[in-house]
Each structure stands twice: as C-alpha cells, then as structure tokens.
Amino acid sequence: MTDATSADLPVRPQGALRRLMRRKLALLGVAVIAIVTIGAIFAPWIAPYQPQEQMFDGLTLEGSPLGPNAKFWLGTDLLGRDLFSRILYGARTSLIIGVVANGLALIIGTLIGVTAGYFRGWIGAVLMRFTDLMMAFPALLLAICLAAIFTPSLWIVAMVIALVNWVQTARVVYTETSALAEREFVAAEKTLGAGTARILFRHILPHLVPMIIVWGTLGISTTVLLEATLSYLGVGVQPPTPSWGNIIFENQTYFQAAPWLVFIPGAAILLLALAFNLVGDALRDVLDPTQRGRE
Amino acid sequence: MIEVKDMTTGAAAAPDTAPPVLQVQGLTISVRAEGRERPLVSDLSFTLARGETIAIAGESGSGKSLTSLAIMGLLPPPALRVSEGRILLNDQDLTSLSESRMRTVRGNRIAMIFQEPMTSLNPVLTIGLQLAEAIRAHEPISKREARARALEALKAVRISEPERRMGQYPHELSGGMRQRVMIAMALALRPDVLIADEPTTALDVTVQREVLDLLRDLQREMGTAIILITHDMGVVSEMAERVIVMKQGRAVEQGPVRQIFEAPQESYTRDLLAAVPRMGDGSGAPARDGDAAPVASLRDVRVRFDIRGGILSQVTHRVHAVENVSLDIMAGETFSLVGESGCGKSTIAKALVGLVPHQGRIEVAGHVLGGMKSSDMKSLRRDVQIVFQDPMAALDPRMRVGELVGEPLLIHAIGTPEERRERVAGLFERVGLSRDQLDRYPHEFSGGQRQRICIARALALQPKLIVADESVSALDVSVQARVLDLLAALKREFGIAYLFISHDMAVVENISDRVAVMYMGQIVEMGTRAQIFGNPRHPYTKRLMAAVPVPDPTHRRPPVPRLAGEVPSPVYPVGEAPQRLPLRNLGDGHLVADAPEPM
C-alpha cells in the first residue's frame, strides 16, 4: 500500500520515531518505561509514605506483614514499611543500575570487542585473553572484592556491575567485528582511502547496533538481579535504601507467608526488562535500512 | 550396450518411440505474499524422454531453479507451492504425493546436483560415509555392501585415487572433485531423471569441461534423462538436445537445440543469444599502439601468504600466490588477466590497490607502492580504484547509495556538500541511473544496477586506472553486455585504463587490448589480443581456450585428451619456491613461457 512512498522516506530520526510509534508492542514498552521513570523521578511526591518509615499499623497484632489493602496498596513488609513506596524509591536504584551500569558495561564491551576484532594481531590477542580471564574469574567474587575495597554506594555498585558485565558483550562484539572486517565492503572502503576511524564508526559500528541493542536489553534483568545478589551479600546498595532486588532478597524467606513481597518486585523487574526488550526489538528493525521495502 | 558414437559432439539422439519418463503439464508455482497469490512460474509444460537431455535456459529470476525444486518436491513451504498443473514421473503425479512418499522418490528416482558442491556436502562426514548413507537410505543393504557400491560410484566418476577419497572430508577435495562426488552420489542409485542446477557454474573452465564430458558419458551408460538448468548458452549448445528458454516464469520458446540457435523465433531468444560473448581468433578492432606511457608497472612482484602450524605456530609453508610477475598497463588500455581460480589474478588486483602486502616493485601513476606514508597512500587512492565481483558485498548495506558514491569525495575533502551531491548525481546519470535513486539503499537495486553504482563510486575520484576484478562475472549475460558497453564508453570518454580480471575467455577477447594468461602465480603468456587468441603458443593457453563451451550446436570439438589430473598446489614448504618461468619474446611483445612439462 505505502510501498512506493515508504521507499522514499528517509530514515531520519523523526522518521524512525514515527515508525517506532506505529508498532503497538513497542509503544507498550515505551509506556512501561515512561511510567517507571516518572515514578522514580517523582517518588517523593507520589509515594504515600517514606520508604524507611516503619509503621505501627503496618503490621498485624502478631507482627506479620499486611497484604495489599486500601491503606497500603501493595501491602507492607516484615518491618511494617509500605511496599508501594519502597517499590517507587527502589525504581530509582534499579533504573540507575539497569540503564547506567548496563550501558557502561555495553560501552566497555563494545570498545574492547571492536578494537580486538578489527585490529587483531597482538592488540587483539592481549585484549581477548584479558576478556577470557575475566570470563573465567567468578563474577560474583570479583564484584565482592571490588565492593569491599570501595565503600558501597549506589554509584560504586553501578561501577562494579559494569566492570563485571562487559565481558560477554566484548566476546560477542569481537566475533562479529572480525567477521565484518573481512567483508568486501570494508576492503572497498580501504581502497577509497577511508581511514580507520571512518571505517570503524561509519561502516562497522552501525552493523553492530542491532546486536548491541539485544545484549543491552537482555543485560537489564541480569544487572538488576546482580545488584540484588550483591545487596543480599551485604556489599550492594546499603539498607535501608530500597532496590527491587534487595526487596526480594529481604523477604524471600517469608515467601510462603507473604508471597506478594516477592512477587510484586519480581514482576516489576520482569516488566521493566520486557519493556526494554520490546523497545529494543522494534528499534533494531526500525533502524535497519536493509529491511525497507521488505515488511 | 555401449553405443559407439562420436564422443566429441553433442549427445546421441533419444529414441523417438520411448515413453516419456517425466512429463510436466501446465506447471504453475505461486508465492503467497501479503495475502495474495502471485505466480512465479506459469503454465510450463514439457516432456522428457529416457536418456534425453533438456536444457532450461534463462537469466536470473526466470524461474528455472524453482521449476527444478518443484520437480524435486523441495519448494520451501509455506510461501511457495505448486498451485496448478501436474508433474508425472512414469505416470505417477509427484505433486499429489505425501512428503514421506516423496522421500522415496527423491534421490532414488530423481536426483539432483547443485551449483555449489561444498554446501551440498556435510563438512563433518567423510565422503565414503555420505555416499554409503545416501545409498542405504533407499536400498536395504548392509554397510559393507553400501561401501562397496560407494567405491564403485566414485570409480564411475573417474575420480583419482577413489579408495583414498572415501576416507577424506569435503574440504580436502577441490571444487571439481567435490562436484564429481555429488554426481557419484546422484547417480549411485541409477535415477530415471537427474536435475543438474548450474552444475558447472562455480567451476573453472577446464574443470567444467571434464565434468560436462563425465555427465555425458554417464548418461550414455545409464540412460538417465537430464534436466540441465543453466544460464550459459555455451553449455546448453554442447549438452542439450532440446532447449526451453524461460523469461519471468514463462517458457518463451521451446525446441531442438539447433533450431533455437539457428532460427530463434522469439525476439527474447535472439537478444539472449546476441548478448552471449563469443570467442573468435582475436581479430576485429585493432589493438592500440604501444606509444602510451605506462600507468602501472609491476616488476618481479611476489605475494606469499604464510601458513602457520605446529605448537609454536611457526611458519611451515607458504602459499606462493603470485611469483615474479612483471607487466605494464598503458594509459587508456584494457589489460586483461585470465586464468583459473587460485592462479593469483585476484591477488595481483589486491596488491595493486594496496590490500595485500607484496614484494617486488609496483608503480602506479608515479607512486611506488609499499612503505608509503598514509598521506601518500591516500593520494594513490585517487589514481587507482577497484570494482569487485559482487556489488552487493562491496557496498555497505546500511548506507544510502548516494552517500556511498559520494564517500570518496568526502574522504578526500573535495567540494562542498552541495557540490558533492551534484557531482554524485552527475555520476549516477553517467552510469545510466537516475538522480532520484540517490536516497535508496543497495538492496533496492538489481545486480546490474548495483554494479553500476560501484562503477560510479570508482569513477568519483577520476582515477587513471580501474581494476575490475571479475566485475561482470556475477551478472546475467544481457546485463553483462550492457555493463561492458558502459566500461568501454567510459574508457573512450575519460581515457581510463582497465586491469580487467576474468576467467571468462570470451568476455576477455571482446574487450581487451592486451592479455596475460596466468597459471600457478606466474604469467605463462602475454601479448596483444590478436596474438593470444589468434596464435596461442603456450599449452596452458591452448587448453584454456579449447575448454570454453561454444554457443553453437554445429561446432565440432576437436578431440582433446581427457584430463583427470589435479591442478597442482601453489603451497610450498618454507625455503622452497616454484621454478621461475622465463618469458621468451616471440616478437611484437608476444611473450611466452617455455612449457616445463606436458600439461
């Protein structure tokens, strides 16, 4: 129907955005991310209670947490704190970890992978052996060591997670780059006199974008959970600051008595990861010019 | 019974009385897209008698390969299906068979060989095992018996050292040997029909000759009917008794091979035959005079690749891809390098544009290659450009074609963005594209158009020399003819010199001023077109030319001894090197190497 016109539509950002908006699932993902982000930013105004506030009427007379009710929308936790408020504040932590730490990991991984894959030789060998070493080293142990050296804070935890999580990205980007570097169009660019920077940034990186997007969206749930693990081990975000991961870990032993304390933050992590996944998928298709006219 | 007939001309005529082994009636293949059914092949009918060879010829997109897949029952579901018509194999309708019944037919009664034997063989199983398995899939015999049958089949395709081949893996064999294995596998069960889909397109011309001879001999022995699918009119005229010419899913003409070639009825057939490059004796347009200055000169150029092995990965062997090649390309001339795959012709192209390191001296437009500063290298790029074989691979699929063609100008900082765009538009129009297409992506163009885009990009810097590395080999003949015309026009207009690299002797003869024949990394013969094609002196040149299929059914091939030998390898242990072949001057710049041994 719009074959002829869409073929002439340039893939400028606004065009890409418009086509992104045409996908219902992607729109749903954008909506979820927007809601979580707004909730995190405006948490002090939205949250009905302070996240650390232990309320007397937040527990039953026997001292067990309350299920979702009219006063505490998502129930309360073991210390009588409002779960809804904690989830809102926790979104700040989890978004920073999921987006910043994960983004940093992607950048480090891509840089190392592209450098090693394009230049090969001894640079590539050194970088990739280092990557293999990092891969073989237990990530959790490394994170614990790093977190023990630096005083744990949210930003330190984000750094630590980035330093642990770049490895897989580097490995995959390396493989893909070394395949791309052998492609004939790269040879063609060299014969035109294109410099290394032009080849890397104009001709190799764009081909890696789809893969980086996929790894990025997959990385969100793993980094959020890694943060939770670190918190659980006492080297992550320090209580009483809430994060989705540490809410789960604080309450997991009472799973049978108070399942909402695990399910609700779990569902939040899942929903956020899914939302990023949907957007990432759509972005990959929309940004790929070779898909034009084939839809 | 063994027929005693002339082994060198076309196949024997099929007996007229025999019932047809395969009948295709009103075959229509449709694709389902966007909820609609669109026919890709419409209303195709033909019959095939026992022992007969029918060729389906046509350009890409004509539906010839789809037809063969339909006969094999291999159309990829669910998008493609036979929507109308019948395919009768000995009166059994194949289109109505279930997949499990079809499996007993496939490989057993109808076999198929494909263009690229490497992808059709399983790389992790030995040849013997794959052959035996193929036989055991259809006949309840023991492994031992199957092995014996497999060995027999390998012997039948005249492969050298068949016992050793049984234990080898596909990657250990050459392309020609792999195609022989595929033929052995296809014919081991003595099928009624063999479908050969571009069986020799990926092979060198001398290997092609051997494989075609082999197919013809086996057909004579076994009485197999062959459907030969090819774009090569030379192969058609040498192999087939009848021809179906297809265009865009329809049979435009059908008839005996002589009639098609001598009196084609349809204009499409006539155009197709007219576009086929033919080899003559090198006469025609006079070669250019030799006064022009060389734009590129190579002296004793060597390119070697190291092969590492052992625990310490030290260099154990070297591939001597190019050995002591010396040649001059004059300004404004078309210099062709011909030879078979692995002879080093593409390596010379890559060395000339600085993509592989070399030893010896290469001088292009006053620059000496090797050990240059990157700024010198960049200015060299303005004088020599390359056009690759596969334009789809040579164009970054994520860039607009306008950006791609303008990129050399951007890299060399020529003009303002508006000037660049204007110049790119001008280049587009010069190569026969429209300026409206600048914002499209490479996949939105056809193969011929993409090659024009590559040519436009090569022209952007107004180079003195363009290296065309098999630049027209992947194109259909009619498209190929038009691209060659364009190259010739650009040469006249801008005085560009070409280094034209090709394996296709007929194309080379049609466009070259001077020609060099390469074999195993060295030049064995070099001279003007008239010298090489009119008076070939080196035995390898002669062999190469004799092997070219001639698109003329009346052509009688002089009896050439059958060769079953293998092309020797250019890999030598460290410290050893191939013997240098000195070139003797026969006068007027016709240089020939002494033939070291009978080739």
Per the CB < 8 A criterion, the answer to whether B173 and B165 are in contact is: yes
Q: How far apart are CA A19 and CA B344, in angstroms?
A: 48
- What pLDDT score does A3 carry? 38
Specify the DSSP class assigned to residue B232: -
Nearest CA in chain A to B354: A191
B557 touches chain A (CB under 8 A): no
Answer whether A184 sits within 8 Å of B398, measured CB to CB.
no
Q: For residue B346, what are the domain limits?
A: 294-517
pLDDT exceeding 70 applies to what percent of chain B?
Answer: 92
Indicate whether B593 belongs to any domain: no
Specify the DSSP class assigned to residue A1: -
The CATH number of whichever domain residue B392 belongs to comes to 3.40.50.300
From the CB of residue B276, how many other CB atoms can be counted at a distance below 10 Å?
19
| B599 has pLDDT over 50 | no
A188 touches chain B (CB under 8 A): yes
| B439 has pLDDT over 80 | yes
Residues B452 and B359 in one domain: yes
- The bridge status of strand B225-230 relative to strand B53-57 is parallel
Of A188, A190, A289, the CB nearest to B441: A289
Residues B336 and B396 in one domain: yes
**Residue range B169-181, pLDDT digits in tens:** 888 887 778 888 8
When computed from its CA atoms, the radius of gyration of chain A, rounded to whole angstroms, is 23
Q: For residue A280, what are the domain limits?
A: 82-289
Indicate whether A44 belongs to any domain: no
CA B302 to chain A, closest CA, distance in angstroms equals 20
- Does the CA dihedral A149-A150-A153-A159 come out positive or negative? negative
| A8 has pLDDT over 70 | no
B408 touches chain A (CB under 8 A): yes
- Does the CA dihedral B10-B11-B17-B19 come out positive or negative? negative
**Residue range A122-131, pLDDT digits in tens:** 888 999 999 9
Residues B395 and B259 in one domain: no
**Among A167-176, B3-12, B34-43, B555-564, which is the least confidently predicted range?**
B3-12
At B579, the pLDDT band (50, 70, 90 cuts) reads: confident
B393 touches chain A (CB under 8 A): yes
Q: How far apart are CA A205 and CA A187, in angstroms?
A: 16
- What pLDDT score does B562 carry? 55
Per the CB < 8 A criterion, the answer to whether A116 and A265 are in contact is: no
| B288 has pLDDT over 80 | no
Reading the block at residue B257, the tokens are 């091979």
Of B350, B381, B400, the CB nearest to A193: B381
Which chain B positions have a beta carbon within 8 Å of A203's beta carbon? 396, 398-399
At B195, the pLDDT band (50, 70, 90 cuts) reads: very high
| A137 has pLDDT over 90 | no
Task: Considering only residues A94 and A7, tell me which one the structure prediction assigns the higher pLDDT.
Answer: A94
Indicate whether B177 belongs to any domain: no
Closest CA to B180 of B540, B599, B541, B566: B566
| B445 has pLDDT over 60 | yes
Per the CB < 8 A criterion, the answer to whether B83 and B41 are in contact is: no
Of A7, A194, A289, the CB nearest to B398: A289
B397 touches chain A (CB under 8 A): yes
Indicate whether A176 belongs to any domain: yes
Q: Which residues does residue B388 pair with via DSSP β-bridges, in sequence order?
A: none
- What pLDDT score does B80 carry? 85
Closest CA to B281 of B555, B557, B554, B545: B545
pLDDT exceeding 90 applies to what percent of chain B?
Answer: 19
**Among residues B495, B517, B539, which one ends one of the domains?**
B517
| A7 has pLDDT over 70 | no
Residues B305 and B340 in one domain: yes
Complex ipTM above 0.85?
A: no
At B570, the pLDDT band (50, 70, 90 cuts) reads: confident
**Residue range A255-265, pLDDT digits in tens:** 888 888 888 88
Residues B346 and B458 in one domain: yes
Per the CB < 8 A criterion, the answer to whether B524 and B517 are in contact is: yes
Residues B241 and B316 in one domain: no
- What pLDDT score does A294 carry? 47
**Residue range B461-472, pLDDT digits in tens:** 889 999 998 888
Task: Considering only residues A67 and A85, tell me which one the structure prediction assigns the higher pLDDT.
Answer: A85
Indicate whether B328 belongs to any domain: yes
Specify the DSSP class assigned to residue B263: S
Those residues with Cβ within 8 angstroms of residue B514's Cβ, 6 or more apart along the chain or in another chain: B287, B333, B334, B335, B336, B526, B527, B528, B529, B589
Indicate whether A64 belongs to any domain: no
| A4 has pLDDT over 50 | no
B355 touches chain A (CB under 8 A): yes
Indicate whether A235 belongs to any domain: yes
Residues B33 and B101 in one domain: yes
- What pLDDT score does A9 carry? 41
| B144 has pLDDT over 80 | yes
**Among residues B484, B517, B550, which one ends one of the domains?**
B517
**Residue range A36-77, pLDDT digits in tens:** 999 889 988 888 888 887 877 777 777 777 778 777 778 788
Q: How far apart are CA B144 and CA B132, in angstroms?
A: 9
CA A104 to chain B, closest CA, distance in angstroms equals 26
At B561, the pLDDT band (50, 70, 90 cuts) reads: low
| B425 has pLDDT over 90 | yes
Closest CA to A77 of A267, A263, A273: A263
Reading the block at residue B442, the tokens are 């490479």
| B262 has pLDDT over 80 | yes
Indicate whether B231 belongs to any domain: yes
Indicate whether B523 belongs to any domain: no
At A6, the pLDDT band (50, 70, 90 cuts) reads: very low
- The bridge status of strand B294-309 relative to strand B359-364 is antiparallel
Residues B197 and B64 in one domain: yes
- What pLDDT score does B6 carry? 41
**Among residues B488, B517, B546, which one ends one of the domains?**
B517
Answer whether B388 sits within 8 Å of A187, measured CB to CB.
yes
Task: Considering only residues B124 and B378, tell me which one the structure prediction assigns the higher pLDDT.
Answer: B124
List Cα–Cα distances, B214 to A119, A295, B220, B288, B535, in angstroms: 47, 46, 10, 42, 29
Answer whether A187 sits within 8 Å of B355, measured CB to CB.
yes
**Residue range B386-422, pLDDT digits in tens:** 998 888 889 999 899 999 999 999 999 888 999 999 9
B395 touches chain A (CB under 8 A): yes
Indicate whether B400 belongs to any domain: yes
Indicate whether A192 belongs to any domain: yes
Residues B469 and B376 in one domain: yes
Residues B300 and B265 in one domain: no
B398 touches chain A (CB under 8 A): yes
Max avg pLDDT among A103-107, A190-194, A278-282, B389-393? A103-107
- What pLDDT score does B558 carry? 66
Q: How many domains does chain A have?
A: 1
Average pLDDT of span B508-532: 90
Nearest CA in chain A to B379: A193
When computed from its CA atoms, the radius of gyration of chain B, rounded to whole angstroms, is 26
At B18, the pLDDT band (50, 70, 90 cuts) reads: low
Average pLDDT, chain A: 82
Q: How far apart are CA B570 and CA B520, in angstroms?
A: 6
CA B352 to chain A, closest CA, distance in angstroms equals 10
Q: Which residues does residue B528 pair with via DSSP β-bridges, in sequence order?
A: B514
- What pLDDT score does B51 carry? 87
Answer whether A290 sits within 8 Å of B354, measured CB to CB.
no
Among A192, A205, A286, the strongest candidate for a mutation testing the B interface, having the largest count of B CBs within 10 A, is: A192
Indicate whether A193 belongs to any domain: yes
Average pLDDT, chain B: 84
The CATH number of whichever domain residue A186 belongs to comes to 1.10.3720.10
Residues B299 and B231 in one domain: no
Indicate whether A75 belongs to any domain: no
Answer whether A192 sits within 8 Å of B385, measured CB to CB.
yes
Q: How many domains does chain B have?
A: 2
- What pLDDT score does A295 carry? 40
Indicate whether A54 belongs to any domain: no
Which chain A positions have a beta carbon within 8 Å of B459's beta carbon? none
- What pLDDT score does A292 carry? 59
Specify the DSSP class assigned to residue B31: E
| B555 has pLDDT over 90 | no
- What pLDDT score does B208 carry? 84
Residues B324 and B402 in one domain: yes
**If contacts are CB pairs under 8 Å, which of residues 193-252 in chain A contact chain B?**
193-195, 198, 202-203, 206-207
- What pLDDT score does B290 carry? 53
Reading the block at residue A269, the tokens are 């992590």
Indicate whether B213 belongs to any domain: no
pLDDT exceeding 90 applies to what percent of chain A?
Answer: 18
